[in-house]
């Protein structure tokens, strides 16, 4: 390697190989930042390169959303319920991304034979998870925006928003909590084989139900309260509905948006912290049991 191609990330003059192995904090930070960008890159670029993704990723939630819109129309529901369904349909893009492309990703990488390369590379695996989350967020945002715009236009949904700042804060806090949960699940799935695939399936419709995807979660009573305290999708969706349809009669029984924003803040901290802890514990256990490179089990 010529001197001109050397840079701070791969080379610095040292007295010995041992000294070379002791990275400076800057090297560690820059390598992890590059990892975040590197892992997010295929997801962001994939949006443009794999056109079928755009079609199916938008079509799938839009069709499901449309079906529930027609259910409410068949029942003669008030217009705000159509809006509830559209908002829920847009948020499913993030939930599906979290469980399919976050929670299940490390298991999938294991099946592809990439996981051992991740662990052998000189980077923190949390940086990989952050990169996955960032790329997934960008990817899902296009889906969610498309569903929201198309469905709002097609079904004539009108929003009434008084507190834009709080709505945006709740939206980003919901995403933070959702992707934190995804990072935690990704760590758990390190230990599993085919169970990961099936448990991912199990996290779709049942979570939609307890999160009140198409109806106010307060209608579920105690179950709804439990969902609000545990599931970011439930609490985030409830807060966003209250804020996005401020002029509509909203069923009582759930906390105010401000309180729900507080719950989301706690969730972000807990899920990200837990993901770091579970990743450390389960990585060690997976190494001990030789599960990091076992494929197709």
Partner 1 sequence: MTVEEAFQPDVSRLGSPAWGGFDPSRTAGRGWPDIRRSFATAVRLGWQMEANWTDPILFFIYSVAKPLASALILVVMLEVISGGSRPDYRAFVVIGSALWSFVQSGVSGLAWMILDDRERYRMLKYVYVSPSDFMAVVFGRGVARIGVGAMGALITIAVGVVLLGVPFDVARIDWGLFLGVMVVGVGAILAIGLMLAAICMQTRQESWSYPEAVSGALFLVSGVVFPLAVLPAPVQAVGLLTPLTWWIEGIRRALFPGGVSSIGGPGSLFTELTGAAEPGPLTIAVVLLATGAVATLAAVAVFRASDRRAKDRGLLDQTTGS
Q: Which residues bind partner 1 (CB under 8 A)?
A: 42, 46, 50, 52-53, 56-57, 59-60, 63-64, 66-68, 70-77, 81, 111-112, 193-195, 198-199, 201-202, 204-206, 208-209, 213-216, 219-220, 296
Pick the closer one to partner 1 by CB: 38 or 42. 42
Query: Between 46 and 273, whose beta carbon lies closer to partner 1?
Result: 46
Q: Is the Cβ of residue 80 or residue 187 nearer to partner 1 in the bound state?
A: 80
179 or 215: CB nearest partner 1: 215
**216, 77 in Cβ contact below 8 A?**
no
Give me the residue label for tokens 């197709």.
296
Taking each helix axis from N to C end, the angle separating 125-155 and 79-98, rounded to the nearest 10 degrees, works out to 160
- Kindly tell me which of 223 and 274 has the beta carbon lying closer to partner 1: 223
Query: Which of 253, 179, 177 minimizes the C-alpha distance to 215?
Result: 253
State in angstroms the smallest separation of the CB of 189 from partner 1: 13
Distance, in Å, from the CA atom of 228 to the CA atom of 226, rounded to the nearest integer, reads 5
CB 208 within 8 A of CB 153: no
Q: How many Å apart are CA 119 and CA 187, to the nearest integer?
A: 13
In angstroms, the CA 105 to CA 97 distance is 10
Measured between alpha carbons, how far is residue 118 from residues 7, 82, 134, 226 in Å? 22, 44, 18, 36
- Which residue in 115, 135, 94 sits closest to 193, CA to CA? 115
Q: How far is CA 105 from CA 14, 46, 133, 178, 252, in A?
A: 38, 16, 11, 15, 38
Question: CB 182 → partner 1: shortest distance, Å?
Answer: 18
In the complex, minimum distance from the CB of residue 141 to partner 1, in angstroms, rounded to a whole number? 18
Minimum Å gap between C-beta 29 and partner 1 is: 29
At its nearest, how many Å lie between partner 1 and the CB of residue 149?
A: 19
Supply the minimum distance, in Å, between the C-beta of residue 30 and partner 1.
27
Name which of 108 and 134 has its Cβ closer to partner 1: 108
């Amino acid at each position: 390697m010529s001197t001109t191609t050397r840079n701070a990330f791969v080379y610095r003059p040292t007295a010995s190989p041992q000294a070379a192995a002791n990275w400076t904090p800057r090297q560690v930070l820059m390598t992890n930042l590059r990892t975040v960008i590197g892992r997010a890159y295929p997801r962001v670029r994939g949006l443009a390169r794999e056109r079928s993704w755009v079609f199916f990723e938008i079509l799938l939630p839009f069709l499901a959303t449309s079906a529930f819109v027609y259910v409410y129309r068949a029942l003669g529901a008030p217009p705000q319920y159509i809006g509830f369904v559209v908002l829920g349909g847009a948020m499913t893009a993030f939930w599906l991304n979290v469980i399919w492309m976050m929670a299940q990703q490390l298991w999938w990488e294991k099946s592809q034979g990439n996981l051992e390369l991740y662990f052998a590379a000189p980077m923190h695996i949390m940086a990989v998870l952050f990169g996955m989350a960032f790329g997934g967020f960008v990817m899902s945002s296009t889906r969610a925006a498309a569903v929201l715009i198309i469905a709002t236009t097609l079904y004539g949904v009108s929003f009434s928003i008084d507190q834009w700042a709080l709505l945006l804060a709740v939206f980003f806090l919901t995403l933070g909590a959702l992707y934190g949960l995804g990072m935690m699940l990704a760590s758990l799935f390190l230990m599993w084989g085919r169970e990961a695939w099936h448990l991912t399936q199990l996290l779709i419709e049942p979570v939609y139900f307890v999160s009140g995807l198409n109806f106010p979660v307060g209608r579920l009573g105690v179950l709804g309260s439990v969902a609000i305290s545990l599931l970011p999708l439930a609490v985030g969706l409830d807060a966003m509905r209250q804020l996005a349809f401020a002029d509509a009669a909203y069923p009582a029984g759930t906390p105010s948006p401000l309180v729900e924003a507080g719950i989301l803040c706690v969730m972000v901290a807990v899920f990200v912290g837990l993901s770091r802890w579970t990743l450390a514990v389960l990585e060690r256990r997976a190494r001990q049991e030789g599960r990091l490179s076992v494929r197709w089990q």
